Each structure stands twice: as C-alpha cells, then as structure tokens.
Chain A
Amino acid sequence: MSMVRNWSAGRVLALVVLLAATVISVFPFVWMVVGSTLNPNDVLRGNLMPGAEFASNWAKATKSYNLPLFFWNSLKIAILTVVFGLLVNGFAAYGFEKYPSKARDRVFNVLLLTLIIPQIALVIPMFRMFAFMRLLDSHAAIVLPSIMSVFIIFFMRQNFKMFPTEIIEAARADGAGELAIFLRIVTPSMQATYVSSAIYIFINQWNSYLWPLITILSDAKKTMPIAISSMMNAYTIEYGAIMVIVCISVLPVLILFLALQRQFVAGLLGSVK
C-alpha cells in the first residue's frame, strides 16, 4: 500500500513525523555525550555546546567510584552468562527438538508455563536460598540463576527445527557419534542462532538490575547499573561524572547493536516466530 505515493504533501508530512521521531530518539544520546564534557550546572541546565570538563568528570568518576572495576564486573558477569547460557540452552534446545519424546515434551511445556512468572515473585525465595547457601554478595549469585533461560531454549529450539533431520540421520549412518554430530555438524551451521542468542543474553545481563540490586551488598562487587543507581541515591549528585558513566555503560550495547544489527533484530524477532 502506498498511501501517499502520488501526494507529495503526504510524503512531506511523513518525513516531518519521522524526522521528529528521529530527533527525539537520538537526542538523549547526543546529550549524554555532550554532558560528559560539561560541568554539573551546565548538564542540568541543558547546555548543548561541548565543554572542556571531560577530564575532570572522568577524574571524578574514576576517583570517587571504581569505574573500571564496575565495568569489569559487568563484563565478566555478562560474558560468563553468555558462555554457560549458550552451552546449556543450546544443548537443551537440541535435545528437546531432535530427540522427540513425550516425556521431554511434557517437561518443555512445564518450562514454557513458567514464562509468565514475573521476576519479582522469584527474587524473594531466591534471596533466602542464596543467603542460606552463603552466596549473597557474589557474582556467582548473579550468573548461576540466569544461565538457564526458557526464552532462549524456546528461541533456539525454533531455529533447530529448521535444521534438516536427514543430515543428522545420514551422519549416524556414517557412524558419527551423537555428540560429534551436534558439535561438528549442527552447531557450526547454526552460528546465526548462537550469535543472536549471545547478543540477547549479553544485553539482558549487562542491563539487569533487580536481582543484582538485591544480592550485591559491597562496593567492590557492584555492576554498572547498580553503581549508577547508587550514585543517583547519593546526597550530592555529580551530574558530569554520571554522564561519563552512563556513556560508558551504553557503549558496549551500542557497539554490539551497530556491528551486528541484523542478528540483534533477529534475536528480538525470534519471539514472534
């Protein structure tokens, strides 16, 4: 349908609306970069001319807060979750899809059922459990519960459906072992699925807030979102330093998105397939 193909006024209107949406969408990004070069007052007032305060903001951000450590904590947690998540969920999705059995299908349906349970309902008993295991205030407490993801298993299973079972059977006929088939034949041809899942897991973990907020107690264990939120709770808020930290916390996801746009969106859309 070309609602406005021959009506140039309509085309102009569409362009104006899209431009407005673009400005509103992009503006906060420009503003946070500019803000990182301004003194706190100019950040607040909304000065849009870049200033010369970046070095001092950076110094404040790294002096009063251990910015490199928070960044490293976040990165470590996200990468560990991606590695274990791809391994566990990849195997699970393959098992559910390519070794059909009634019993496993029933298990899978139970897994799917838990998708509607909001996180807030799980964090209280989980907190008690981790307190009992003496694992509070550890990065393991963040990584362990987020490895298994029903959504990722579902997403990967949908993709494994497209892998022809005949190839697996042919490999079996050639005498290949089940594990070798999965690792040497199936996995390499499912790279796109693994990349999309990795991006999804990474971003989810990089941005996760509620559970780390509950489990992390000491400064040295903080992740970027937790550090940012505790800065916003401070008595005096260092707006310039905050802008530096916000920029840095957005950067990895932004880079991932710009570099791997297609897989990024494929990961999102996996849920509608």
Chain B
Amino acid sequence: MKKKATYQRYLNQFGWMCVAPSIVLFCLFMLYPILSSLYYVTRRWKGMTNTFIGLGNFIRMGQDKVFQAALGNNFLFMLFQIPLMVFLALLLAVLLNQGIRRFKGPFRLAIFLPAVTSLVVVSVLFRVLLQENGMLNNVLIKARLIAEPIGWLNDAFWAKVTIVLAMTWRWTGYNMVFFLVGLQSIDPEIYEAAEVDGASKARQFFRITIPLLVPVILFSVVTSTSGTMQLFDEPNILTWQGGPANATMTAALYIYRQAFFVNADFGYATAMSYVVVLISGIFAFIQMRLLGENRKAK
C-alpha cells in the first residue's frame, strides 16, 4: 500500500513538471503584467515621473470625448460588420453545402483564401485599392455607377464603410468554414422526416437548419465580438491612425497612441484598457449564458 502511495506522489510530481514551464511563463507574461497594471492604473505620468492620482484616470475618461467616440466606433463596427459577415458566411455555407453538386472543394478553398492574409496585408491592399484615384473608384466611374470619386479613406462616413468592408473580406470565408462543419454535422434524416411531413424547403431552413446552427453562429459572434473590441491593425494602417479626424479611431488604437505616442501616459492608457477588458468580459459573459441556455434547451 505504501509503495502505491509513493508511486502516486511520483506521478503527481511528474504532472507538475509537465505544466511547470507553462506556469512560469504564464506568471511572467500574464500574471505579472496584470498585477503591475493595478499599480499603473492609479498613476499619472508627466514625462519620466509619475504621481499617484487614485481614480483620477477614470474621471478623466469621463471627459475624454475622443475615447468615448472610439468606443462608439467599436460598437458601430460590431453592429454592422458582424451581422453582415454572419449573413454572408451563412449564405455561402448553405449554397456550398446544398446549392451545388460539383466543385465544392475549389469554391471552399477560394472563399477561405482571404483568411491566410495578415491584417496588415489586408489593410495595405485595401488602402491602395481605395485611394481617391485608385482602382475601385476608376472601375465604378467607368461603369457609370458613380459620377464623382468616393472618399473611401478621406470621408468620415465612407472610411467607416471601408473598415467594415475590409473586415468582411478578411473574415467571411473563415467563418463560413465553421458554418460548413456545422451544416455537415446535421443528420440528413431530420430533413427526410420533415420532407415526409410536407415541410417546405424554406420552412426546413428556418425551423431545422438555423436552430441547429445556433451554437456555431453564437461561437462566431463571440469570437468576432472580441476581435472587434480589439480592432487595431485596420484603423492604424488602412485608414491611417484612425483617420480622417478620428472617424475610425478605436479604443485599442487610442490606448496605443496615448501610451506610446501622444503623451506617453501609461496610467491613463491602462485605465482605458480596463474599460475594454470590462466590456469584453460583459460581452463574453452574456454570450456564454446564451450558449449555455441554448445547450440546456436541447
């Protein structure tokens, strides 16, 4: 008996040895930054020195119109980009799964392709394509769809549209793959039974396909929400530092600029990042609850 106990202890020790390197790295590059941010958040930087200001950074945020507008932009992008992308990804997945018989593989491959590009590359490509005298405007003018070039990058409204378009191009195929897997996991017998009962195709789609895909759709919404909350690369490169005149400024980009460009105020930047963490946490919590309820309902 005693021998067995020491053997169990040995196994337990080996288990700790396996996870130890990752825990050390976790403490260094996750835990320590989180803990030290508790110190930064209470301080205000002026040049190289900093002073304690308690909750002063949060009070300052209340008066910071640019930060509020930046958060507003994050929400705006979420509100328009995620539904647009989910709709397109769902449409393409359904068409690919049921609408055609041949060339499914090549279509899936082609539509997924944008997902291999980095966000930096996407931003550069769209920035060149969407110049005032750039390709898209030229094509649209030649096709007589517009008379004057559109200010894709210089107009406050169109710059927001540009961000949404670039994100949609990059992520639709990626999400489509998830939906495809979801569709393929639905048992065909369910449809056969519905067929026997005389349910129309449209009815089958809304009563069978969509409800069974809810977990996958929710998953895609969860990851997209957290991605959009962190939106940085596109506004920094594509619309150049959140331009024009902060029209595409996002929270992450504003925090970055406050910490590393404008006044190097790490305290204020940390406080703003707390708000982003809080909002992301709330979104994640709500969405997980929805997912949980959906699982229970089944």
Chain A: residues with CB nearer than 8 A to chain B? 1-5, 10-11, 13-15, 17-18, 21-22, 24-26, 28-29, 31-32, 35, 43-46, 87-89, 91-92, 94-96, 98-99, 101, 104, 107, 111, 114, 116-129, 144-145, 147-148, 150, 153, 178-179, 182, 203, 206-207, 209-210, 214, 225, 228-229, 232, 239, 242, 246, 249-250, 253-254, 257, 261, 265, 268-269, 271-272
Contacts and interface: CB of A to CB of B under 8 A. Distances in A.
B98 A3 contact: yes
B230 interface: yes
B80 interface: no
18 contacts: A1-B191, A2-B98, A4-B98, A4-B99, A17-B92, A21-B111, A28-B125, A46-B138, A88-B25, A92-B23, A99-B12, A121-B273, A121-B277, A148-B25, A225-B118, A232-B124, A257-B113, A269-B177
Contacts of A88: 21-22, 25
A43 to B, nearest CB: 7
B96 interface: yes
Nearest to A231: B124
A125 B34 contact: yes
Contact of B128 (A25, A44, A207): A44
Interface residues of B, number: 98
B40 A125 contact: yes
B224 to A, nearest CB: 13
Nearest to B202: A3
A145 B92 contact: no
Contacts of B205: 1, 3
B6 to A, nearest CB: 14
Q: Tell me the interface secondary structure of chain A in the complex.
A: helix
Given A124-B37, A209-B232, 7 more contacts: A10-B99, A18-B96, A21-B172, A28-B114, A91-B19, A118-B280, A153-B22
B109 A261 contact: yes
A77 to B, nearest CB: 14
Interface stretch (B52-60, B129-137, B154-162): B129-137
Contacts of A206: 118
A11 B103 CA distance: 13
Given A10-B99, A18-B92, A209 B19 contact: no
B273 A124 contact: yes
Interface string B158-170: 0000000000010
B49 interface: no
B95 A14 contact: yes
A266 to B, nearest CB: 10
Interface stretch (B61-69, B143-151, B252-260): B252-260
A268 B135 contact: no
Contacts of B14: 95, 99, 178-179
Q: Tell me the interface secondary structure of chain B in the complex.
A: helix
Contacts of A28: 114, 117, 125, 129, 169
Residue from the set A87, A95, A114 with the largest chain B CB neighbour count within 10 Å: A95
A249 B116 CA distance: 11
A120 B276 contact: yes
A218 B251 CA distance: 27
B90 to A, nearest CB: 12
A11 B99 CA distance: 6
Given A44-B134, A121-B274, A206-B118, A92 B21 contact: yes
A126 B29 contact: yes
B181 interface: yes
Contact of B131 (A22, A44, A104, A257): A44
Contact of B173 (A15, A25, A228): A25
A95 B99 contact: no
Contact of B15 (A2, A45, A101, A126): A101
Given A22-B110, A214-B260, A120 B255 contact: yes
B100 A14 contact: yes
Contacts of A29: 113
A148 B30 CA distance: 10
A257 B255 CA distance: 34
A45 B134 contact: yes
B246 interface: no
Contacts of A117: 30, 34, 277, 280
B270 A124 contact: yes
A129 B31 CA distance: 12
B84 interface: no
A268 B178 CA distance: 9
B215 to A, nearest CB: 8
A16 to B, nearest CB: 10
A240 to B, nearest CB: 11
